[in-house]
Amino acid sequence: MKSYNYYRHLFQDTPKPFAFVDIDLFHRNVRDIISRAGSKKIRIASKSIRCNHLLKLLLNSSVQIQGLMCYSPREAVYLSKAGFDDLLVAYPAMNEADIDAVIQQTLLGKKIYLMTDHEQHLLKIHKRAQLHGISQPVCLDLDLSVEYPGLHFGVLRSRVNSKKSAKTYLNSLSKYPGVTLKGLMGYEAQIAGLGDSGSGNGLKNGLIRRLKKRAIPAVAKRRQVVYDQIKAAGHVLDFVNGGGTGSMESTRTEKCVTEIAVGSGFYSPTLFDHYDNFKHQPACAYGIEIVRKPNKYTYTCAGGGYPASGSPGADKAPSVYLPVGAKLTENEGAGEVQTPVSYKGPQELFLGDPIFLRHSKAGELCERFNELHLVSKGKIIDIVKTYRGEGHCFL
C-alpha cells in the first residue's frame, strides 16, 4: 500500500475529482491473476475495465490473456470496430438492431458470440442471421446456482440449469440453422462474487465458506455433464468459460473449462478485500477535494458519492482509502455534492488537498469519469479515456 503523501504529491496540480489507476499495482495484479489461473486462459470481463487503453494493455501483457467478455451487444460492436476480436456477449440480446449490428461484424470476419439460454433467443438470432445469409455463433449460458433448503445459493440468470433443460435447449437448436453453438459459459457467482472474510462477520464468513465448499463439486459436475451432452450432440465448441476473480482456484481444476473470466481483480475494488484465499492490490481509486473544515476532525469534500449497483447496503458505498484512518461519517456517507470525512490521524490536511476513496466495484467507477490518470514510479505517465470519455454509455 502506497502512502497518502505519495499520491497527494503526484496529483497536486490535478483538478479534482479525478480517477486513477496505479499501473505498478495493476501489473502486480495481472501477474498474480495469471499465476492463479494455472494453465487456463483468461478472458477479460470488459465490464470491470471500461477503458480501451487498459484492455489493450491486458491483452498485450500475456499470451494467456485472450478475448473479451462484453456486457452489451452494442459494446461488443464498438470494441470490434476499435480493433478487438474474440468477443463474448455475456447477456442475451433481444433488440433486432443490436443483433443486426453484431451480424454485420460477423460478416466482416469478426468473431462475436451472442449469449442464449432460451428458444426465443435462438429464434430471434436465427431470423436476423438468415436475412444476411449466415449462421451466427452463439454461446449457451448454463446456470450454476445451487439449491439448499430455503436458500437459492447463486444468481438468477439462465433457465438452463440441469441435464433435462440442457437437452431441451440442444434439441431446439436443430430448428434454427441461422445459429451455431460455439461456446458454453457458466458463472458460479456464489463462489466468484461473494466475499467470505468480511471484518466483524465471523459466523457469516464461516457459513459462506461452508456453502462454497459444498457448491464447488456440484458446479463442476453440472458443467461437465452439460459439456458432455453438447459434445455428444455433435457440437464443436471454441471455448468453455467459467469462474471469476473469486473462484479461480476451483474453476481451474475443471477439465472441460478452457478459460476463466476475470475483470474486477485487475483493479481490485473494495468488495474484493473480503476473500479468504487471495488478496490483490488496490490499483484503482479516485480523489475528491477538501473544500470545508466544519470542525477540528471533519473535512468536507466536493462530490464523491459514487455507489455501486446491486442490493442496497453499506458494502455498496465507496470507502475512504487514504489517509489511513479517515472514514465516512455515519449520518451523511458519500454524497453527490458533498462528502464529509472524519479524520483524527497524524497527517496534516488542508483545504484543497485530496481525500482518496475506492469504489465498491470495478468498472462502474468509469461511468463517473471521462479519463483515468495512469501513474507509475511516482509520475503521471498517461491520461486515457474511459468508455464515457469516448462518448459511450451502453447500459
Comparing C-alpha atoms, which of 139, 369, 136 is closest to residue 240?
Answer: 139
Distance CA 186, CA 277 (A): 21
Distance CA 277, CA 32 (A): 12
Is 52 within the bounds of a domain? yes
Q: Is the pLDDT of residue 69 over 70?
A: yes
Q: Which value, in Å, is the radius of gyration of the alpha carbons in the chain?
A: 22
**CATH value at residue 123:** 3.20.20.10
pLDDT confidence of residue 37? 98
pTM of the model: 0.95
Residues 6+ apart with CB under 8 A from 50: 363, 366, 367, 386, 387, 388
Distance CA 102, CA 137 (A): 10
Phi and psi of 209, rounded to 5°? -65, -40
Write out pLDDT tens, residues 129-177.
999 999 999 999 999 999 989 999 999 999 999 999 999 999 999 999 9
Write out pLDDT tens, residues 86-123.
999 999 999 999 999 999 999 999 999 999 999 999 99
Counted domains in the chain: 1
Write out pLDDT tens, residues 44-60.
999 999 999 999 999 99
Residues 6+ apart with CB under 8 A from 10: 375, 378, 379, 380
Is 304 within the bounds of a domain? no
State the residue range of the domain holding 154.
23-266
Is 311 within the bounds of a domain? no
Is 146 within the bounds of a domain? yes
pLDDT band, very low/low/confident/very high, at 248 (cuts 50, 70, 90): very high
Q: Check: CB of residue 357 under 8 Å from CB of residue 303.
A: no
Is 118 within the bounds of a domain? yes
Is 71 within the bounds of a domain? yes
| Residues, the chain | 395
Phi-psi region of 116 (alpha: psi -120 to 50; beta: other; left: phi over 0): beta
Q: Check: CB of residue 215 under 8 Å from CB of residue 247.
A: no
Is 13 within the bounds of a domain? no
Write out pLDDT tens, residues 254-269.
999 999 999 999 999 9
Q: Is the pLDDT of residue 200 over 90?
A: no
Is 41 within the bounds of a domain? yes
